[in-house]
Structures are given as structure tokens and as C-alpha cells.
Amino acid sequence: MVVRIVENRICEVCGKNEAVVLCNGCDKALCEDCRIFDLWAYGCGSGDSKTFCKKCYDDPEINVWKGLE
């Protein structure tokens, strides 16, 4: 389980909405508007999902899987 759920926290990116998950890169709390879900499938239908903020999603050192596409 790599997507971590948070409760009773405000999004640390926009500071407006209630956070729902933590970024897998920088551990910031993210709301539904600020999170980016990504899903990598490995072969026979199994997958691994991660959640990033916009900044980490675009950082190849954090989102290393993005470069493997």
C-alpha cells in the first residue's frame, strides 16, 4: 500500500481544501485538486499506484517511473 490516506488536514499545496492523501515524494498533504494519481501496470493486470503533487510528478528524480514510459 503506497497511497497513504490522511484526515483532518488542509492541503499543503493550495492551503484551501481538505487533504485526502500524502504525496509519495515530499510527504505533503494533498487535496483532490492538487494530487496526481499515477498507475503503473506490471504485466498481467497487476499495478502499483502512487500519488504525487504537481511538483514531484514533474521531478524525474522523484517520479523515476515517468521516464520509463
| Residues of the shown chain interacting with Zn ion in the complex, contacts defined by CB under 5 A | 11, 13-14, 17, 23, 25-26, 31, 34, 53, 56
Shortest Å distance, C-beta 42 to Zn ion: 23
Q: Tell me the closest approach of the beta carbon of residue 25 to Zn ion, in angstroms.
A: 4
Decide if 30 contacts 53 (C-beta within 8 A).
Answer: yes
Q: What is the per-residue DSSP string for 25-47? A: TT--EE-TTT-EEEEEEETTTEE
Pairing of strands 29-30, 36-42: unpaired
* In the complex, least distance from residue 43 CB atom to Zn ion, rounded to whole angstroms: 28
Q: Pick between residue 15 and residue 43 the one whose CB is nearest to Zn ion.
A: 15
- Cβ proximity to Zn ion, 20 vs 69, nearer residue: 20
Separation between Cα atoms, residue 65 and residue 4, nearest integer Å: 19
